[in-house]
Amino acid sequence: LESLHGTNGCSKVRTGTQNEAALLALMEKTGYNMVQENGQRKFGGPPQGWEGPPPPRGCEVFVGKILRDVYEDELVPVFERAGKIYEFRLTMEFSGENRGYVFVMCTTKEEVQLAIRILNEIRPGKFIGVCVSLDNCRLFIGAILKEK
């Protein structure tokens, strides 16, 4: 595939076929699966050779300020610099663009801290925000009648 960056640092628009080819190449390279459900495209989980339970709570980062034309083929290699990815969830619009944020589950808490420290730029001059994801495992049920 040709480079997706123009000489002025701006990205080139790529077709759906180019995007599909890039995602298929990424899946083949990593051995991960990709599934789209509930407005999220899930990549990975668990990695090849993984044995045991999923990573513990606190092993996920929230990444915001992502350009809308950036996809897994560009994002995954950036996050692999911090360590092995257990699961990668890119939120998607119906149009096929991403929603500007992603959740990345690392395999250890140390990788989370490294990701927060070193990952702040997706393309030259295009900054992203990386922070620990709030593990919100609560369910609120309200407006329940007190009498039958």
> Residue 77 maps to which CATH number?
3.30.70.330
In a domain, 94, yes or no: yes
In a domain, 109, yes or no: yes
Residue range of the domain that includes 106: 16-132
Verdict on whether the full-model pTM lies above 0.85: no
Q: Other CB atoms closer than 10 Å to residue 84's CB: what's the count? A: 16
In a domain, 123, yes or no: yes
- How many domains in the chain? 1
In a domain, 78, yes or no: yes
Q: Per this entry, what is the length of the chain? A: 148
| CA–CA separation, 106 and 50 (whole Å) | 13
Q: What's the pLDDT at 15?
A: 55
Q: Which distant-in-sequence residues (6+ apart) come within 8 Å of 105 by Cβ?
A: 44, 45, 54, 55, 59, 60, 85, 86, 87, 88, 89
Q: What does the pLDDT profile of the chain (148 residues) look like in tens digits? A: 233 444 334 444 455 666 777 777 777 777 777 777 888 988 887 877 889 899 999 999 999 999 998 888 888 888 989 998 999 999 999 888 899 999 999 999 999 999 999 888 778 888 888 999 987 777 778 878 887 6
